[in-house]
Structure 1
Amino acid sequence: MNGDDTSLHADTGVTSGLFVERSLNEIRFWARIMKEHSLFLRLGFRAEDTQLIQEANQFYRLFEQIEQTAHSFNNQTDPEQIRRFNSEVQQAATNIFAFKRKVLGLILTCKLPGANNFPLLVDHTSREANYFRKRLIELNEGKLQALPDAIIKENVFFLRIMADHAKFIGHLLDPSERKLVDVARDFSNDFDQLLYQAKDLESMRPQSQTGPLLDQFLDQNRVSVSSLRDFKKTARDLIEQCKIKSIIHPLLADHVFREADRFLEIIDMFDAHLTGGSKS
């Protein structure tokens, strides 16, 4: 079961067992993501940015420890212990969010000339930290959105993440990889359009929250996310085999693949609850 099961118990609150399972799922996934963000940011700093490099290394170690702790717990762990753990992790996510926004400010005010972190990439990683932070707060407060709200909100968030990924891939591939750059650009355009559609649906709430519209919304997004995930998997494999020219770190290639895979899990979970599992 995916930890992003956002709204099954919107009326009754989160049961203890589900609370523990969902919390651990979220932390195991996102702590690894935060740890890897720390590495990617560090790799993009200049050699003289010693303070920023030190801070990034500290966050790497912090989230590595959080990830290990999360794996030491299981679904039978005392919910109160998990609640306290969620609060600790939420503070760590808040702190790395603040660090990322600080770095973004330095880049946008031209105080890190020659560094290799795109402003959009730093903003992107900060949005994910904020998502993680808010998810832990929601879990601890037992506040869950109704299914239609959750479907639209999650898709708006993840469609933008996928659009960003396509842009990063296109810019980090060597310019001589013309065919792959074109494919990445096409994915970027596709997900920009899907994001605009999702925002339109969002602005039409609550009238837009009908079963047929949401069902079509999920189906359409699933097709594009599946294609992008397969492209990311191919790119990851080619990078690992040194078959294409790029400055994409192999771990970054796997990182974006895992996020697409998680989005697909979320879409499938929402679809199953929307349709009562009636689809084949």
Structure 2
Amino acid sequence: MTNGFVVRSLDEIRFWSRIMKEHSLFLKLGFRCEDTQLINEANYFFSLFERIENQAHDFSTEADPEQISNFNMKVHRAASLIWAFKRKVLGLILQCQLPGGNNFPLLVDHVSREAAYFRNRLEELNQGRLEPLPDAIIDENVFFLRIMADHAKFIGHLLDPSERKLVEQAREFSHDFDQLLFQAKDLESMRPQSQTVPLLDQFLDQNRVSVKSLRDFKKTARELIEACRIKSIIHPLLADHVFREAERFLQIIDLFERSLTKSSPK
């Protein structure tokens, strides 16, 4: 194990533990007041991932790789637990056992997919089996394009219907990212033949343009919500949450582009 393993592990945990913590809050806010058991479980996961987030920031990038490997295993267990909680909540909603709650089924599925992604990334890091670059480019984009499409749908549904222009913009982003996701799935089904440098480079360029536009839209929405200048039921933290995930996707695209450039023949 190398310093790169430590840096990558801490980066993943610092980012995703905060995301998991905030998911706990958002789910809690969507439960009914009588759902005390679910509220208590959400509070437990909020505290658990807050501790994990703080611990991750206490580690130095010069930390012992074996120590980080053990930490990854601990966080992996926590990610598995919150994934199971989210799937349980989804089941209750789909079986109409939480009538009147405010958690969309797609939102609960969305946050469970992110928990599964986090858990799987920790497994890959500890086992030293990160995907080859061409596979990683396609798989990461398939995952994040769906996340971005979901975000646009959530924003459109949580804005007040009278915010017609913003609602329409959110719908347009939803359509755009659905199309990008379909294209990514086509590229996925055509591999390995589709994994040429020109095709992957164009794939990343096209996605970056749309993610930047969505990121900027989210940034504007966040600022308007924080200033109480638009009508919505979007929590200010949720607005910042989805903005940070778009920023994360852009960072990943940039990293892939640099790696692709290095790997291509001169």
TM-score by length of 2: 0.98
Shift of 1:172: 0.1
Q: Is 2:101 aligned against 1:115?
A: yes
Give the one of 31, 36, 41 matched to 1:50: 36
Alignment of 1:1-280 (within 5 A): 15-276=1-262
Shift of 1:198: 0.1
Question: What are the ranges of 5 or more consecutive residues in structure 2 without an aligned counterpart?
Answer: none
Q: Percent identity?
A: 77
- The runs of at least 4 consecutive aligned structure 1 residues that moved more than 4 Å come to none
Q: Matched residues in 2 for 1:276 and 1:85: separation?
A: 32
Shift of 1:144: 1.3
Q: Matched residues in 1 for 2:130 and 2:30: separation?
A: 37
Q: Matched residues in 1 for 2:170 and 2:251: separation?
A: 22
1:7 alignment partner in structure 2: none
Q: Matched residues in 2 for 1:135 and 1:252: separation?
A: 24
Structure holding more helix per residue: 2
TM-score by length of 1: 0.93
Shift of 1:275: 1.3
1:4 alignment partner in structure 2: none
Q: Matched residues in 2 for 1:230 and 1:21: separation?
A: 28
CA shift digits 1:239-258 (9 cap, x unpaired) = 00000000000000000000
Instruction: Give the superposed CA RMSD.
Output: 0.9
Q: Which amino acid aligns with 1:215?
A: D
Q: Matched residues in 2 for 1:257 and 1:85: separation?
A: 28
Shift of 1:16: 1.3
Does the residue aligned with 2:223 lie in a helix, a strand or coil?
A: helix
Does the residue aligned with 1:276 lie in a helix, a strand or coil?
A: helix
Does the residue aligned with 1:156 lie in a helix, a strand or coil?
A: helix
Shift of 1:277: 9.4
